[in-house]
């Protein structure tokens, strides 16, 4: 059984997001959909109500796809000062932390490769063996609705099982997936310790972070 997970790319998302990478054989970055301007694609939540680190982006039309977005030319000078919002020091005492610090200090170019790099850094450090690819590389028909798009992605990746985050239960029809020969599954709600994962990268060990994701 080949498990496929599909999700928009988030900027250092909550711990529960990474469960998709931990459980899937293939993780598809859904960047071929409209960029959500108030979502988590370019914003990372911090502890405390309404506290975020936001990636500075180039202006773009409202209907732009995620794959078309670019970081602003002055993103580095605008992003790093925001990192002072992170609690405590930012040690560079492990390979994972050094990679995260380098990423935070060097935002440039198209948005999706930058976000993909952030996901790969964590997935590789925590030993999640999934293959990561982009929806924009699959030449999906633009007219597909949300459910049809997911089914097409799963078929193209040779999947027999589709795994979705818990918030998507109202989006998909289990009978439709079954007729397509695909087992539809949803993760249970995340109950781990790190709804804000970026600070945890500097406060917890790799073993602790992995356990939180796998068990939470």
pLDDT, tens digit, for every residue of 98-145? Answer: 999 999 999 999 999 999 999 999 999 999 999 999 999 999 998 899
DSSP lists the bridge partners of residue 132 as 27
Tell me if residue 51 falls in helix, strand or coil: coil
What is the distance between the terminal CA atoms of the chain, rounded to a whole angstrom? 23
- The contacts of residue 76 (CB under 8 Å, 6+ apart) are 105, 106, 107, 108
Instruction: From first to last of the 216 residues of the chain, give the pLDDT tens digit.
Output: 899 999 999 999 999 999 999 999 999 999 999 999 889 999 999 988 889 999 999 999 999 999 999 999 999 999 999 999 998 889 999 999 999 999 999 999 999 999 999 999 999 999 999 999 999 999 999 889 999 999 999 999 999 999 999 988 888 999 999 999 999 999 999 999 999 999 999 999 999 999 999 986
pTM of the shown model: 0.95
Token pair in block for residue 18:
């990474």
In angstroms, the Cα distances linking 177 to 98, 114, 147, 154 are 42, 32, 9, 10
Torsion angle defined by CA atoms of residues 211, 201, 95 and 77, in that order, rounded to the nearest 10 degrees? 160
């Amino acid at each position: 059984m080949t498990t496929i997970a599909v999700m928009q790319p988030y900027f250092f998302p909550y711990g529960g997001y990474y469960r998709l990478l931990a459980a899937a054989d293939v993780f598809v970055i859904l960047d071929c959909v409209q960029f959500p301007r108030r979502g988590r694609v370019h914003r990372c939540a911090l502890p405390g109500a309404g506290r975020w680190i936001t990636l500075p982006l180039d202006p773009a039309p409202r209907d732009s796809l995620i794959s078309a977005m670019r970081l602003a030319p002055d993103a580095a000078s605008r992003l790093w000062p925001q990192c002072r919002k992170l609690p405590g020091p930012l040690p560079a005492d492990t390979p994972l932390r050094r990679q995260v610090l380098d990423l935070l200090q060097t935002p440039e170019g198209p948005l999706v490769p930058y976000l993909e790099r952030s996901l790969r850094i964590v997935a590789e450090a925590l030993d999640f063996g999934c293959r990561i690819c982009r929806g924009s590389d699959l030449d999906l028909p633009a007219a597909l609705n949300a459910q049809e798009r997911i089914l097409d992605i799963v078929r193209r990746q040779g999947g027999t099982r589709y795994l979705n985050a818990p918030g998507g239960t109202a989006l998909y029809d289990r009978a439709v997936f079954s007729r397509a020969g695909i087992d539809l599954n949803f993760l249970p709600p995340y109950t781990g310790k790190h709804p804000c994962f970026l600070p945890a990268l500097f406060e917890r060990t790799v073993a602790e972070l992995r356990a939180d994701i796998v068990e939470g």
